[in-house]
Amino acid sequence: METSSDSQVLMARQPIFDRSQRVVAYELLYRDGQDAENSLFRNSGSSSEVILNSYTSISDQGELKRVPAFINLNRDLLISNDFPELPRKNIVLEIHQNVKVDRDVIVAVYRLVKAGYRIALDHFTYKPAYEPLLKMAQIVKVDVQNMSFEEVAEQVRLLTPFKVTLLAEKIQTVEMLEECNKLGFKLFQGNFLSKPKMVKGKKVDPNQAALFELVQELQNPNTTPERLENLIIRDPVLTYKLLRIVNSAAYSLVRKVESLTEAIVMLGMAQIRKWATLIALNNQSGKPEEICRSLLVRGRMCEEIALASKRTNHGSYFMTGMMSNLHLLLDIDRESMLREVPLSDEIKDAILFHQGEMGETLMYVGNYEAGDWDLLPTNFDSTLYETSYRKALDWSKEAMQALNDLD
């Protein structure tokens, strides 16, 4: 496949977790063909503040908060005399291990620390030459992807004398996550959420299946309020929450709504679709909020792209994006989930095989989110995708906050 144009500006984020698997920061991934490593820093002052706020503001357990952004520096920017002014409280500056440690680098890091910036050493394995930086850094990110448990333990032993917080990065399995936790790491980053321990033989709970049947019916353009009421009323929690939504001050009703059919008509199909989907996701308790957050971002981003491309079935794009990783909430494999949940063949083929326009969009969105931008085609519209991604981030924050307000 041809790669994307070098002139495009691309940004995405990857979560950093604490021991409770709550998001405590995001690493910002970015690329600009004109200055591949430093694109973010050309937007200084208020412009960089707007970007950082959009990418690092979340709803976390009902609280709107902003978490720090980890941003990678290259050597040229690190030692430059015109380092841009950035919000010190909201960023952590990462220095990659490929940056050679010499006098210029040591002086530059010292200057940044004295100015109030936090420093993280990225993709790190211990070498004596890095001790001057270890004495100034607050965080060390140990790349555990290709290490054995014994090798990770040795890195911890070597780094323990330094007063640094240890972050295990590129964790691919739950087993490595658990081992790093035992060894004393406090922060974690990687794809471990996408590879949970699957429970053999587990099936979709009947209540969950009923919710997903409702979500599927909401995509049917010929559905009726009466048909939806028959599906909604099976779930008392969903019924209660939908009635609370329509009776909330946000809708400024002259009188209270007392029946589901009336509530459905009042809310309208677009609002019912949104709320029913959000409530279905939110009912999956005991899982890290980031899973739900990422599903909403992916679904909304797919929908935004469909809307901008004037595709009539944009609701199906939302469903495709959201359902593509829903199995992570259910502790079953994707294929089993898709067999049990009533989705159209078009959506299933898009998820399993990236078939059709929906499947292609899902594949591109997945590559964008992961920062695998070299896998995107030359006619890739970077402005559309970056805008859609940012809109999806903002919408997911608002949606999760609204859900928590119902509890």
Over the stretch 325-347, which tens digit does the pLDDT of each residue have? 988 887 788 888 888 777 889 99
- Residue with more model confidence, 2 or 158: 158
Residue 83: pLDDT band with limits 50, 70, 90: confident
The percentage of the chain sitting over the pLDDT mark of 70, rounded to a whole number, equals 86
This prediction's pTM: 0.87
φ, ψ dihedrals at 310, nearest 5°: 60, 40
Residue 45: pLDDT band with limits 50, 70, 90: low
Residue 9 β-bridge partners: 32
Return d(Cα 28, Cα 71) in angstroms, integer.
6
Query: Is 60 exceeded by the pLDDT of residue 186?
Result: yes
- Residue with more model confidence, 20 or 215: 20
Lowest mean pLDDT among 2-6, 172-176, 385-389: 2-6
- Residue with more model confidence, 173 or 255: 173
Query: Is 70 exceeded by the pLDDT of residue 153?
Result: yes
pLDDT of residue 310: 94
Return d(Cα 212, Cα 222) in angstroms, integer.
18
Q: How does pLDDT run across 212-263, given as a tens digit for each residue?
A: 778 778 767 788 888 888 888 877 777 888 888 777 756 665 666 777 888 8
Lowest mean pLDDT among 121-130, 278-287, 297-306, 310-319: 278-287
Q: How does pLDDT run across 267-301, given as a tens digit for each residue?
A: 887 778 778 777 777 766 678 889 989 999 999 99
- Residue with more model confidence, 165 or 85: 165
Q: What is the largest CA-CA distance in the chain?
A: 74
pLDDT of residue 154: 97
Count of CA atoms in the C-beta half-sphere (13 A) of 270: 3
Mean pLDDT over 50-78 rounds to 89
Mean pLDDT over 374-381 rounds to 90
Return d(Cα 192, Cα 287) in angstroms, integer.
13
pLDDT of residue 84: 77
Show the tokens assigned to 327: 């199995």
Lowest mean pLDDT among 147-156, 258-267, 362-371: 258-267
Mean pLDDT over 77-97 rounds to 86
Lowest mean pLDDT among 37-41, 68-72, 138-142, 345-349: 37-41
Mean pLDDT over 28-45 rounds to 62
Show the tokens assigned to 61: 């357990």
Question: Which residue in the block uniquely carries the two structure tokens 């890739």?
Answer: 380
345-354 contacts at long range (C-beta below 8 A, 24 or more positions apart): 346/316, 347/316, 347/319, 347/320, 347/323, 350/320, 351/320, 351/323, 351/324
Query: Is 60 exceeded by the pLDDT of residue 74?
Result: yes
pLDDT of residue 237: 77
Mean pLDDT over 313-328 rounds to 87
pLDDT of residue 6: 46
pLDDT of residue 47: 63
pLDDT of residue 3: 43
Question: Which residue in the block uniquely carries the two structure tokens 């399993």?
Answer: 352
User: What angle in degrees, to the nearest 10, is found between the helix axes of 356-370 and 382-406?
Assistant: 90
Query: Is 90 exceeded by the pLDDT of residue 22?
Result: yes
337-343 contacts at long range (C-beta below 8 A, 24 or more positions apart): 337/204, 340/203, 340/204, 340/209, 341/204, 341/209, 341/212, 341/213, 341/216, 342/209, 342/212, 342/213, 342/216, 343/212, 343/216, 343/319
pLDDT of residue 70: 96
pLDDT of residue 307: 95
Return d(Cα 149, Cα 135) in angstroms, integer.
26
Mean pLDDT over 69-91 rounds to 86
AA letter at 370: A
Mean pLDDT (the chain, rounded): 85
